Structure 1
Amino acid sequence: MSKIGNAIYEIHHMETIASRDQWVNLIHPLVKFILTIAYTVTVVSFQKYDIIGLAGMFFYPLAMFILSDLSFTDCGRRLRVVLPLVCIIGVFNPFFDKTPVVIGNIHCTTGILSMITLMMKGVFTVLASYLLIATTSIEKLCYAFRLLHIPKILVTQILLTYRYITVLLEEVNRITQAYSLRAPKQKGVHFKVWGSLSGQLLLRSMDRATVVYESMTLRGYNGEFQYMESKIRWRWQDTVFLLVWLGLIMLFRKIPVILAIGNLCGGLIG
């Protein structure tokens, strides 16, 4: 499978995962969006040297992966490009912040601590975003945006951009396959035909995009999501889910869970 075909497959596969009947997928999208924002803000709020306190925030993505029946392996494979880029953010901190510090019996510098903290923050926020996308379809997310009174034109732009990315990739895949069949011994697309192929891609993707939009309007879409109200309703389970997780996030922000568990285990062993 080509890279373009693999990208199309991954998009459709993520939509399939988000549309499952897992009970986490059925939680109101606004609840999951609020939790993702609250978790992200909480993770970012930790001080740059507070590794122990920040490590306890891994409980949220870990629990959500288990509850959602999602695979860490698949997540790592899909985020294999994003996660290294996130980790590069603080890679130069050890060269600028060389103040020595001792943690237990480990000697290091504050630059190393800030580097690890930045990496952890990036990884945790990316995992939280992945969990939101993997358990909530794009239509439900846009419905949650409208409930927050985000402008209709912006929400429509997000929805159609997501939809038209797949349309564009499918057209690129067809054009490149047709070209490779007509030039089987040539690697890639010759630069002399880049202009004509780009024009064909533009015209064909515009035609397909028109068909997609007309199909959406025939199904009742007019920029609002009234048709989702009959499918998605706020239940008491959503309220409990939201309050419990918000309480746990605030609790784990105040209490260094890793240190508390270590002290407890040490006390039991002693």
Structure 2
Amino acid sequence: MNHIESAIYEIHTMDSLASKNQWVNRLHPLIKFFITIIYIALVVSFSKYDVIGIAGMVIYPLFLFQLADLSFRACIKRLRIVLPLVCCVGIFNPLLDHTTVQLGGMLISAGFLSMCTLIMKGVFSVLASYLLIATTSIEDICYALRLLHVPKLLVTQILLTYRYVTVLLGEVNRMTQAYSLRAPRQKGVHFKVWGSLTGQLLLRSIDRANDVYESMLLRGYQGEFTYLGQEHHMRASDLLYLLFWLILLICFRCFPIFVLVGQFMGGIFA
């Protein structure tokens, strides 16, 4: 399996994860989308030296990984390109910030703390986005966006881009395979034919886009999709799930839960 086929397989795998018949997958998409946005906003709102405070926000991805029965190893594998870039955001902070701050009775470099904070903010935000995609289909996400009055043109663009990126990758795969059959001893695609292959891909994409649009018109498309998410109705369990996470996340944001638990446990065993 080459890289393009692997990418197509990963997209289909994410679709199958989102369509699993589990309780968290059946939650209203607007609730899951709203919680994800709130979680990311709370994560990035921590100060650049508050490592202990932001560490408590790990509770949301850990809980959701268990609730949705998702593999953390598979998540890391799929995000193997994004996570290193996120971790490199604050890698130069220890070289730029030489001040020291007191943490737990010890003097620690402020640049090192800010680097850890930035890394944790990026990693937690990426994990929250991954969990949303892994538990919610693209139709449900687009339905949630329409409920938030996001312009239908933008939502339709997101939906069609996600749905037909596999078609584009399939065209690229066929073109590269045809080229490799005509140049069996050549490794990769020679740079001299990059322009012609890109032009052929553009023409094929335009033809396929016209076919798709004509098929949509024949099925009654008038500028708005009937999203599968419209089958969902807001239930009491959805609102309770939202209320639970709002209270919990706000508590972890406003209070150093780990510090309080440590002081409480230390008082018991003292």
CA RMSD of aligned residues (A): 1.7
Partner of 1:117: 117
Q: Check 1:217–1:63 CA distance in 2 against 1; reply closer, same or farther (3 A cut).
A: farther
2:194 aligned partner: 194
Q: CA deviation at 1:118?
A: 0.9
Greater mean deviation of Cα atoms: 62-71 or 92-101: 92-101
Partner Cα separation in structure 1 for residue 28 and residue 190 of structure 2: 49
Separation in 1 of the partners of 2:60 and 2:116?
A: 19
Counterpart residue number, 1:269: 269
Aligned partner of 2:164: which letter?
Y
> Partners of 1:208 and 1:17 in 2: how far apart?
28
Q: Which amino acid aligns with 2:68?
A: S
Give the SS at the match of 1:107.
Answer: strand
How many residues end up aligned between the 2 structures? 270
AA in 2 matched with 1:47:
S
8 Å CA contact 2:146–2:152 kept in 1: the answer is yes
Aligned to 2:98: 98
Q: CA deviation at 1:48?
A: 1.0
C-alpha contact (below 8 Å) 2:140/2:227 kept by paired residues: no
Alpha-carbon offset, residue 256 of structure 1: 1.2
1:17 corresponds in structure 2 to 17
What residue number does 1:61 align with?
61
Kindly indicate whether the alpha-carbon contact (under 8 Å) linking 1:53 and 1:256 is maintained by their aligned counterparts in 2.
yes
SS in 2 for 1:89: coil
Change (3 A) 1:228 1:221: farther
User: Residues 269 and 210 from structure 1, CA distance in 2 versus in 1: closer, same or farther, beyond 3 angstroms?
Assistant: farther
- Distance, in Å, in 2 between the alignment partners of 1:235 and 1:6 is 38
**Are the aligned partners of 2:49 and 2:113 in contact in 1 as well (CA < 8 Å)?**
yes
Partner of 2:43: 43
- Measured after TM superposition, the shift of residue 158 of structure 1 is 1.2
- 1:213: how far off? 3.5
- How far apart are residue 33 of structure 1 and its match? 0.7
Q: Describe the SS at the equivalent of 2:107.
A: strand
Structure 2 unaligned regions, length at least 5? none
For 1:227 and 1:81, locate their aligned partners in 2 and report how far apart those are by CA, in whole Å.
31
Q: In the superposition, relative to structure 1, how do residues 254 and 73 fare at CA in structure 2: closer, same or farther (>3 Å)?
A: same
Range with greater deviation from structure 2 (227-236 or 258-267): 227-236
1:124-159: CA deviation from partner (whole Å, max 9, x where unpaired): 111111111111111111111110011111111111
> Shift of residue 219 of structure 1?
4.7
CA contact (8 A) 1:143 1:225 kept: no
Q: Which letter does structure 2 place at the counterpart of 1:114?
A: S
Counterpart residue type for residue 69 of structure 1:
D
Which moves more between the two structures, 230-239 or 16-25? 230-239
Name the aligned partner's letter for residue 102 of structure 1: Q
Q: What's the offset of the Cα at 1:215?
A: 4.0
CA distance in 2 between partners of 1:123 and 1:212 (Å): 37
1:142 corresponds to:
142
**Partner Cα separation in structure 1 for residue 244 and residue 48 of structure 2:** 27
Contact 1:167 1:209 in 2 (8 A): no
Normalising to structure 1: TM-score of the pair?
A: 0.93
Instruction: Indicate how the Cα distance of structure 1 residues 103 and 79 shifts in structure 2: closer, same or farther if over 3 A, else same.
Output: same
User: Which stretch shows the higher mean deviation, 207-216 or 125-134?
Assistant: 207-216
Q: For residue 250 of structure 1, what is the aligned residue in structure 2? A: 250
3-state SS, counterpart of residue 234 of structure 2: coil
**1 CA distance for matches of 2:41 and 2:166?**
31
The CA deviation at 1:110 is: 1.1
CA distance in 2, matches of 1:184, 1:26: 49
Q: 1:4 to 1:86 in 2, by over 3 A?
A: same
Rounded to whole Å, the distance in 2 between the matches of 1:218 and 1:131 is: 35
Deviation at 1:172, TM superposition (A): 0.2
Stretches of structure 1 that go unaligned for 5 or more consecutive residues are none
Question: Relative to 1, partners in 2 of residues 1:223 and 1:259: Cα closer, same or farther, differing over 3 Å?
Answer: farther
| TM-score, with structure 2 as normaliser | 0.93
Aligned-partner SS, 2:8: helix
